[in-house]
Amino acid sequence: MSLDADIAACAALVARGDPPRFRAAMAAPVALRRMLLPLYAFNLEVARAPWVTKEQLIALMRLQWWRDALGEIAEGKPVRRHEVVTPLAAVLDPKGARALDDAVAARERDLDAEPPADVAELLAHVDRTAGTLLWTAARLAGAEDEAAARDAGRAQGAANLLLAVPELVKRGRHPLPHGDPAEHAAALAEEGLAALGRFRAARVPKEARPVFLVLPEAEAALRRIARDPASVVDPAPADLPLGTRLSIGWRAALNRP
């Protein structure tokens, strides 16, 4: 299978499993898509590893498989043939592979049926997963401000977590700490919006800005839940609001994430 075919396979995976990141990647220049789509397909495969089986040992083995693949990339060894790993190895450097290894390790927390202790624990998990992913993509695109990129990742990760609450609850998980879910949702949304504000105040190199086209959808979700925290337990609207769709196109056209 050719690299182009692998990237097409990654695109199909992301389109089915992570529509917000897919829309953002498709709004980016073609050269960046070839980097973003394997990264996002990798993230999707790792994120869902704890959910594809009820057997904790099998889930841990799946996560370890991805850590082993990242180890091959980090050490410059021959990389296993796989529709996601192969194109990922073509765009990821050793530093990125080591960073993403920690993000995979963080996913072991998703195997725990116990709820997080507090919002601070939730944010730490978001930072190790979504924050690391977005910083890695931004750095590979030419960004140097890690704090700003991680703030953007915190905003997007917080939004994704809040949007996933209804499905996680349906699966018998406790994505929010014990207590009033609206209170915790409000705190998480506010933290996400604060991180987004810090990111927007930072300077991002022109070539890296398309990486952050994930943010308009994240911002819309954070603002919706901040306005009505109790809605966190309700399924998100099926259709992307027109204003959010227009914002993605406008920001893509102006290269202003």
Q: What is the mean pLDDT of residues 2-16?
A: 91
Question: 166 pLDDT exceeds 80?
Answer: yes
Q: Give residue 53's pLDDT band: very low, low, confident or very high (50, 70, 90).
A: confident
CA–CA separation, 52 and 17 (whole Å)? 13
Query: Would you state the pLDDT for residue 112?
Result: 84
SS3 (DSSP) at 75? coil
Q: What angle do CA 238, 51, 223 make, to 5 degrees?
A: 35
* Six-digit token string for 235: 């399924």
Contact present, 213 and 27 (Cβ < 8 Å): yes
Return d(Cα 219, Cα 216) in angstroms, integer. 5
Q: Convert 154-167 to b/e letters by CB count within 10 Å (16 or more is b).
A: bbbbbbbbbbebbe
What pLDDT shows up at residue 243? 62
Q: In the predicted model, what is the mean pLDDT of the chain? A: 91
Per-residue confidence (pLDDT) for residue 240, from 0 to 100:
59
Q: What is the pLDDT of residue 79?
A: 94
With 60 as the cut, is the pLDDT of residue 60 above it? yes
- Joined together, the tokens standing for residue 244 give 């959010």
High-pLDDT (> 90) share of the chain, %:
79
pLDDT tens profile 114-146: 899 999 999 999 999 999 999 999 999 999 999
Q: Which of 132, 156, 195, 146 is nearest to 23 (CA)?
A: 156
Distance set, CA 15 to CA 21, 26, 40, 242, 245 (Å): 8, 10, 10, 19, 16
Amino acid at 84: V
Place of tokens 């609850």: 169
* pLDDT at residue 56, as a whole number: 87
The Cα 185–Cα 161 span in angstroms is: 10
Report the percent of the chain where pLDDT is more than 70: 91
pLDDT of residue 238: 60
Q: Determine the pLDDT at residue 174.
A: 87
* Helix 56-74 / helix 94-106 crossing angle, nearest 10 deg: 170
| Range with top average pLDDT, 107-111, 173-177, 179-183 | 179-183
Once rounded to an integer, what is the mean pLDDT over residues 69-82? 95
Which pLDDT does position 98 carry in this prediction? 98
What would the pLDDT profile of 13-45 be if each residue is shown by its tens digit? 999 999 999 999 999 999 999 999 999 999 999
d(CA 146, CA 134) in angstroms, rounded, equals: 10
* Residue bearing tokens 């996601």: 84
**What are phi and psi for residue 57, nearest 5 degrees?**
-65, -40
pLDDT band at 230; cut points 50, 70, 90? very high
Q: Greater confidence, 110 or 74? A: 74
* CA distances to 28, 125, 249 from 255, in Å: 9, 29, 10
Q: What is the pTM of this model?
A: 0.91
What's the CA gap between 44 and 32, in Å, rounded? 18
Segment 40-60 shows an average pLDDT of: 89
